[in-house]
Chain A
Amino acid sequence: MDYIIVLILQVLYSVASLALVCAGLAVVFGMMRVINLAHGEFIMLGGFTTVLSANAGVPLMIAILVIAPLAVGIAGYLIERLVVRHLYGRMVDTMLATWGLSLLLVGLATMVFGNQVAGVAAPFGSVTIGAYGVSLYDVFVIGITIAVLVASYFVLAHTNLGLIARGAMQNPEMASSLGASPARIYSVTFTAGAALSGLAGGILAPLSGVVPTMGAAFVAKAFITVITGGASILTGTITASGILGGISTLTTFAINPVIGDVALLLTAIILLRFLPYGITGRFFRGAN
């Protein structure tokens, strides 16, 4: 019995952390059709911000929930202005430019912080369920992911901003004739996506520690999940995280983490073979 509970918690935790890592990417991809290959580096920046502020004496929760998203959001805003803005509508070029950005950020972080792991201790301690210890921080991650998803749903479905943003995604010209400038919507969306990634980085920092090259570990998983999810940002991300995260945790339990990753990828490729537009979508034909 206790084994089952722990297993369920573990699956929930890995689904949640996968969804968390994907959220920022999903928003930017879903709304703007921009594949941001520097996504992993946004997470890395969030992690470093958290660790640095915590080490400077800021309470950890404030560092994670406020400073990390804020700092990375600002970085995202600047990057949108300087690079991404000039490439809208050119998906491949955007991918390449953000890849360049990713390399640049990794390189700069290595020059500033050095190539070593920095970290903070995870708060909250743990409880025991039967014979197993469960970290309360894992439960916190599950909770905060649910909160983030609910909040995004609320923003998208019930606020003016969400309405305009969804309108712009369907029909940019229409939205601009309603007085909402697509450039501004894109700017806000990209900033919001970056802030979400920063938050994810902050939350993950106490768990895995931070290194300049940590982004690479997330980027592949996050992309494959978002693409498998398809056109619908929230439903897509949640279902794809559920399926892929679930499968990868179970295989991890049964065999080992590397096979878990392989299983995740194989599932995604096979799913995409039969649902080329992702689980929720029939978007996006042709090469643009």
Chain B
Amino acid sequence: MMLKKTACEMLTVLVIGLIAVFVFPNYVAFYTVISSTIYVSLAILALSLALVWGYGGILCFGQAAFFGLAGYTYAVGAFNFEVTAYAAVIAVIVPVIFSAVLGYFMFYGRLNDVYLGVITLTVTLILFKLANSTAGDIYTIGNARLGGFNGMPGTPLLANPFGNGEPLSPHALFVLATVLLLLSYFGCRWLLSTRFGRVMVAIRENETRAELLGYDSRRYKLIFFCVGAGIAGISGMLFANAVFVSPTMFSLNYTAQILIWVIVGGLGTLMGPVIGCIVLQVITAYLGKTGLIDPSAALGLILIVFVLLVPKGLLPLLTELPDRIRQRKKLLSAEPAASDKGEQQ
């Protein structure tokens, strides 16, 4: 049953992905391609939290930290290196190293999930402050000025390292982002199907049991956390190309949004948060344009409503619908009994 659902989801993703790569950009306005690139790169960010929190049970409020670090690393590298592709690779490595150090302190200190949330959040906010305070000429790395509040506009764009050094066109960037999203998604699926991934899910389910069976949960969490940071890093690198790098990448606003995407889409699924991200991006962009209600207020309201009323999120709600209807029919024909377990880890 589970397997069938997963296979179904993977097939759907592949089809939509292929359409997105080969059909979509040829039929929409130039402007739409550019904003779609932003959505896709943020969807990768949503995916990273979906993996770390939804499957690893690690309550990380700091995905934005890795996202921003990757952005800044890419920008600094791109200003300094001839081949911007190197910068892109380093941009993914740096957040992984950062997460390894941070994760060591958190997991080996055996902090519980609430503390993890608070610490990762704090780290992100501190990075936000740090990034904001880098105005002026002292904060220059090689050819790159960090630029404080203004960020780093004019960052050289990613170029095909095997081509003529021309930066990628918006169309090509969109295709790259979509392909990376697909790769990240299938990478996550693969990871979850390995023994490592299964043990991680078991640790999420019952950490004590896993420890008593001989699995060192600290090590598993640390590695999973680093993988999540790497995926967030891919997202940040793309974002740096699609928009530009500024301290807002570390802001509370992004930190909160990532979380909301995951909750709205469905914690414990991979596709849910990706869909949640894209839908909510479209909604906030629309709200921002019309000025009807402050986007932040709208997101806050959505978060409260989901936590109180739809704690499982949209995707599980939709995929369980056929099961529920079937179950109800069965119940109606048989004796009435309680069907809901109402349990949550």
Contact = CB atoms under 8 A, between A and B. Distances in A.
A274 B109 contact: yes
B307 A87 contact: yes
B59 A92 contact: yes
Contact of B259 (A99, A220, A223, A262): A99
Contacts of B32: none
Contact of A95 (B57, B108, B117, B293): B117
Interface string A259-288: 001100100111011101000000011110
Contact of A87 (B102, B111, B207, B308): B308
Interface in B133-186: 133
Most buried by A among B113, B295, B297: B297
B300 A105 contact: yes
B129 interface: yes
Interface string A26-39: 00000000010000
B298 interface: yes
A223 B303 contact: no
Contacts of B308: 83, 86-87, 97
A21 B190 CA distance: 46
The prevalent SS among residues of A at the interface is helix
B137 to A, nearest CB: 16
A262 B126 contact: yes
B302 A227 contact: no
Nearest to A86: B308
A107 B108 contact: no
A96 B303 contact: yes
A224 B110 CA distance: 16
Given A83-B304, A224-B122, A265-B123, A95 B297 contact: no
A258 B299 contact: no
A108 interface: yes
A26 B260 CA distance: 26
A95 B115 CA distance: 11
B263 interface: yes
Contact of A101 (B118, B207, B300): B300
Interface string B86-130: 000000000000000010011011111111011101110110011
Nearest to B53: A92
Nearest to B207: A287
B13 interface: no
B126 A93 contact: no
B117 A111 contact: no
A104 B300 contact: yes
B131 to A, nearest CB: 10
Given A93-B311, A262-B126, A272-B109, A227 B300 contact: no
B26 interface: no
Contacts of B121: 220, 223
A91 interface: yes
A144 to B, nearest CB: 26
A54 interface: no
Given A258-B133, A276-B109, A285-B112, A104 B122 contact: no
Given A216-B252, A223-B122, A97 B304 contact: yes
Contacts of A276: 109-111, 115
Contacts of B115: 227, 272, 276
B307 A224 contact: no
Interface string B302-325: 111001100100000000000000
Nearest to B112: A287
A272 B300 contact: no
Contact of A224 (B59, B119, B294): B119
A216 B130 CA distance: 14
Nearest to A216: B252
Nearest to B296: A107
Interface in A230-278: 256, 258, 261-262, 265, 268-270, 272-274, 276
A106 B251 CA distance: 14
A270 B105 CA distance: 7
Given A99-B300, A103-B299, A272-B109, 20 more contacts: A91-B114, A96-B263, A96-B303, A99-B256, A99-B303, A100-B307, A102-B256, A103-B300, A104-B304, A105-B300, A223-B121, A224-B118, A224-B119, A227-B118, A261-B126, A261-B129, A265-B123, A272-B119, A276-B111, A276-B115
27 contacts: A83-B304, A83-B308, A96-B263, A97-B303, A97-B304, A97-B307, A100-B300, A102-B300, A103-B297, A104-B304, A107-B295, A111-B297, A223-B118, A223-B121, A227-B118, A258-B129, A261-B126, A262-B126, A265-B123, A268-B119, A268-B122, A269-B106, A273-B105, A276-B109, A284-B112, A286-B112, A286-B208
Interface of B: 57, 59, 102, 105-106, 108-115, 117-119, 121-123, 125-126, 129-130, 133, 207-208, 252, 256, 259-260, 263, 293-304, 307-308, 311
